[in-house]
Structure 1
Amino acid sequence: MPNSLTKLLASNKKRPDRLPQSRIVASAAGDETAIYIYDAIVSDEETAYWCGGVSAEALVPEIRSIKSGTVRLRINSPGGDVFAAQAICQAIRDTGAKVIAHIDGYAASAATVIATAADEVEIADGGFYMIHNAWTWAIGNANDLTATAALLSKIDGSLAAQYAKKSGMAVDDVRAAMDAETWYTAEEAVAAGLVDRVAVGAKAEASWNMSAYARAPKAPDPAPDQVDPAATAEHRARQQQRISMLARLQVS
């Protein structure tokens, strides 16, 4: 059985509104650069090829090539690999540009980590910002599993410190919110200090399949006359094939 991150990647790989072709879109106009993270976050291009996602391997050099001006970091992501997100964070901190994060829809899990590295963060009306404890899976004996649990605890502590630094919240309060898998509305994220403002006039982009998470907001069901039973069955069969393939890749 694949873990929740594998499920997250598999269930969103073929979203019709994902950016075409390139998973990373950067354009320069004067002294401004726009970088779009409109996908799950993965570590390398091989994983991105097989599973979909924005890879740190491709994005970090792109960020590090920017030396000045303003970066518009546009985020609509269900999360992903926390170590890949941390590599992207460090590249953002090291650039000489002013970085403004725009949460255009969802910033969940590792995507919120990236947002904390920006100088300013704004969120679209109707957007969501989610923090939770780190995930993984492990195989081995009791010593192996104990070591994995200790590593997860360290990761959670590091994440809590980043959120606390951005928001001004007490670390213990952040840890409690992470324990609960907290989904902040746009207004709640601003009130918590995790986001600086709600974007004026902007509405949230299309949503993601967040069924991998325990407490994700539920998307409205389509009207009965809009559902094609044959298409739904075919979609489920394709998804199961992708999940099985991803499980084999993760074990190898």
Structure 2
Amino acid sequence: MPMPKLLQLFLDNQARPKDFRAVRNEGRGELYVYDAIGDWFGISAEMFNREIRQMEGDVDEIHLYINSPGGDVFEARAMATALSQLKVKTVAHIEGLAASAATFLPMVTDEVDMTDGGFFMIHEAWTLTMGNKRDHDQQRNLLAKVDDSILDAYAKRTGGERDQLTAWMEAETWFTAEEAKTHGFIDAILETERRQRNAAQWNLGAYHNTPRSLTEGPPPEQLYDRAQAERRLALIERH
């Protein structure tokens, strides 16, 4: 029997170092969600919510930087709920990938921008289940309710029709920055001089329609760092 795709997604990325940072910078709080979402394989809601609540009294704005393949839908829901209750301005910056459960977070912030070259992916909820036919029926009913709650969040943010949002979720749809802006998931596109070098950071093989640019390493010209090359050349010349 093949390994369930949800478990495969977590295991494929489990070896990555955990990357969650929270910093205060002159009245501005910054949180970096550069990992999967979930207590035992990534960033937990408890960790995230503790940080933003501690920040709230010390800063005027909280900026959330996201590069995440998704994770536990209930953990993400708890994180989004805490974000929505903050009394300070919140801004989400999708710096590479916001997929699956990670898309919950920018749906509740005051503003959302996304790097040109990034992706925003929505799909139906997944789960792991064991047991008899009644157990599986119960899980199926739970998944249907989870999908409805996800649709509510997307519809509220975008103003989109539920039938269209449902079709996108069923198809596992990957939006470019331009498409995400057109359909109301984000407010602005962040233009950069160089494309983000995060294409090869995640193993996204568990998803069906992952864009090729996220399954292959970036071309050499994207990896070229002129300043680093000049430092190496200077070192060679000294020897």
Compared with structure 1, are the counterparts of its residues 85 and 205 closer, same or farther at alpha carbon in structure 2 (3 Å cutoff)? farther
Instruction: Give how far 1:222 is off.
Output: 8.2
Q: How does 1:116-135 map to 2 (within 5 A)?
A: 116-135=107-126
What is residue 72 of structure 1 aligned with on the other side?
63
Gaps of 5+ in 1: 224-252
Which position in structure 2 is the counterpart of 1:173? 164
Structure 1 position 204 matched with structure 2 position 207: no
- Alignment partner, residue 173 of structure 2: 182
Q: 2-side partners of 1:162 and 1:101: how far apart?
A: 15
Taking the aligned partners of 1:180 and 1:152, their CA distance within structure 2 comes to 16
1:13 Cα deviation (Å)? 2.8
Q: Say whether residues 1:41 and 2:37 are aligned partners.
A: yes
Asked whether the equivalents of residues 197 and 218 of structure 2 are also in contact (C-alpha less than 8 Å), the reply is no
State the match for 2:224 in structure 1.
Answer: none
1:217 matched residue in structure 2: 211
Whole-Å Cα distance in 2 between the matches of residues 106 and 168 of structure 1?
A: 22
Q: C-alpha distance in 2, partners of 1:62/1:92?
A: 11
RMSD (Å), alpha carbons: 1.8
Within-5 A mapping of 1:96-111: 96-111=87-102
Query: Is residue 30 from structure 1 mapped to residue 26 from structure 2 by the alignment?
Result: yes
Call closer, same or farther: CA 1:14–1:114 in 2, change over 3 Å: same
Q: Name the structure 2 match of 1:13.
A: 14
Measure how far apart 1:6 and its partner are: 2.0
* Larger Rg over CA atoms: 2
Distance 1:124 1:63, change over 3 A: same
SS of aligned partner of 2:55: coil
CA deviation after TM superposition for structure 1 residue 37, in Å: 0.4
Question: How much has 1:125 moved relative to structure 2?
Answer: 0.7
Distance 2:217 2:37 in 1: 27
1:221 positional shift: 6.1
Q: What secondary structure does 1:59 align onto?
A: helix
Give deviations 1:63-107, integer Å, cap 9, x for gaps. Answer: 122325111100000000000000000110111121100000000
Letter aligned with residue 158 of structure 1: S
Higher RCO, 1 vs 2 (CA within 8 Å, ≥6 residues apart) = 1
Q: Distance in 2 between matches of 1:108 and 1:30?
A: 31
Calculate percent identity across the aligned residue pairs: 41
Q: CA–CA distance in 2 between the matches of 1:27 and 1:141?
A: 47
Q: Say if 1:166 and 1:193, in contact at 8 Å, map to a contact too.
A: yes
1:55 to 41, 44, 49: 44
Contact persistence 1:66–1:95 (CA under 8 A): no
What does residue 95 of structure 1 align with?
86
- Asked if 2 retains the 8 angstrom alpha-carbon contact of 1:86 and 1:113, the reply is yes
- 2:230 equivalent in structure 1: none
The count of residues paired between Structure 1 and Structure 2 equals 211
Give the unaligned 5+ runs of structure 2.
Answer: 220-239
> For each residue in 1:216-235, what CA deviation from the matched residue of structure 2 results, as whole angstroms up to 9, or x when unmatched?
11233689xxxxxxxxxxxx
Q: Is the 8 A contact 1:36 1:75 kept in 2?
A: yes
CA displacement at 1:60 relative to structure 2: 1.2
Deviation at residue 205 of structure 1 after TM alignment: 4.1
Structure 1 residue aligned with 2:222: none
Q: Could you list the per-position Cα deviations for residues 132-187 of structure 1 after superposition, in whole angstroms to 9, with x for gaps in the alignment?
A: 00000211112111111010000001001100111110111111100000000010
